[in-house]
Amino acid sequence: MDEMDLLIDLHKPAFRQGPGGDAETKRAISLSGLSGRPGLKIADIGCGTGASTIALAKSLKADITAVDFLPDFLSELEKRADAAGVLQHITTLAASMDGLSFEPSSLDAIWSEGAIYNIGFENGIRSWRSFLKPGGILAVSELTWLTQERPAELNEHWSREYPEVATASTKIAQLEANGYTPIGYFVLPEHCWLDNYYRPMQENLKALLEKYDRSEMARSFVAAEQREIDLYEQYAAFVSYGFFIARRLPD
Ligand code: SAM
């Protein structure tokens, strides 16, 4: 048993593996200008069990490649997409997001909710750009400071856990510097964290402790998750996920 087993057991039963919401995915789709376009090819990178993939498939009827490096999540995604009647729009791909082999200029859109941080925002937007057609859409959600100043405790936590955390203006400048033009931005509201992510996770945390006989590893894993939840509840005014929608500029 290692920490990856704990992560899979915690997140596989959940509808989402990170903050987000169907209404917010639809809002990003609306800002992207993709609605109503036939025959779209989209990759949903770091899709988890597929909350956004299924929302995209329902809204756009596109040809979607759902990418995650955990096959356990992809098999769950397939079950859920089947139950939602959209499996015919989705192909799953077990692959790491830092070594993807889509054809150059082959995708109309790259979607990634709460996942690009795994390879770093700037590295991700740079390395994925070539897969997009010129004019193609990048839609990513990313941990973002909501204010210029914030409490030291919060600042220290996220600067340690994710040193690339920054304000929206920094992220937008990175998009502009890397061949994109930003076309939309909004902040995920609190219910995307609390109702859609942390509350269901807290239920699973209890079950996880029992499953692993309250082992030291399980207790320290659960304590770290709980600390993140406590910090969010205390400081929700200062940090959230920003949803960034941008268009790839021609070379
Ligand atoms: N997009 C989903 C959502 O919003 O519910 C999942 C977000 S979850 C925070 C991050 C996802 O990225 C997980 O499903 C994880 O397995 C996946 N992931 C992490 N590192 C990865 C990598 N190097 N390549 C592909 N997927 C990765």
Give the pLDDT of residue 2.
Answer: 84
Using the mean position of ligand 1's atoms as its centre, give its distance from the Cα of residue 118 in Å: 7
Q: Convert the pLDDT of each residue in 118-145 to its tens digit.
A: 999 999 999 999 999 999 999 999 999 9
Using the mean position of ligand 1's atoms as its centre, give its distance from the Cα of residue 67 in Å: 9
Tally the residues of the chain. 251
Residue nearest to atom 18 of ligand 1 (CA): 46
Contact 123, 99 (CB under 8 A): no
For a mutational test of ligand 1's pocket, the pick from 3, 12, 17, i.e. the residue with the most ligand atoms closer than 8 A to its C-beta, is 17
Give the pLDDT of residue 143.
Answer: 98
Would you list the DSSP string of 70-112? Answer: -HHHHHHHHHHHHHTT-GGGEEEEE--TTS--PPTT-EEEEEE
181 CB-near residues (< 8 Å, 6+ apart): 175, 246, 247, 249
- Locate the domains of the chain by residue range: 18-189+236-248
196 CB-near residues (< 8 Å, 6+ apart): 15, 16, 19, 20, 21
Instruction: Show the ligand 1 pocket: residues with CB < 6 angstroms.
Output: 16-18, 20, 46-48, 51-52, 68-70, 73, 96-98, 113-115, 118
Using the mean position of ligand 1's atoms as its centre, give its distance from the Cα of residue 17 in Å: 8
Residue stretches of the chain with pLDDT short of 50: none
Using the mean position of ligand 1's atoms as its centre, give its distance from the Cα of residue 97 in Å: 9
DSSP state of 198: I
CA-wise closest residue to 14 among 150, 199, 218: 199
Q: Kindly report the backbone phi and psi dihedral angles of residue 108, in degrees, each rounded to the nearest multiple of 5, phi listed first.
A: -80, -25
- Residue the block writes with tokens 């600390």: 227
- The predicted model scores a pTM of 0.97
Q: Which tokens sit at 107? A: 């995708």
CA-wise closest residue to 50 among 27, 22, 31: 22
In the chain, where does DSSP find H-type helix?
Answer: 3-11, 22-32, 51-60, 71-83, 121-129, 152-161, 168-177, 190-193, 199-211, 216-235
Q: Which ipTM score applies to this complex?
A: 0.99
Using the mean position of ligand 1's atoms as its centre, give its distance from the Cα of residue 127 in Å: 17
Q: Convert the pLDDT of each residue in 134-187 to its tens digit.
A: 999 999 999 999 999 999 999 999 999 999 999 999 999 999 999 999 999 999
Residue nearest to atom 23 of ligand 1 (CA): 96
- Quote the CATH superfamily of domain 18-189+236-248: Vaccinia Virus protein VP39 (3.40.50.150)
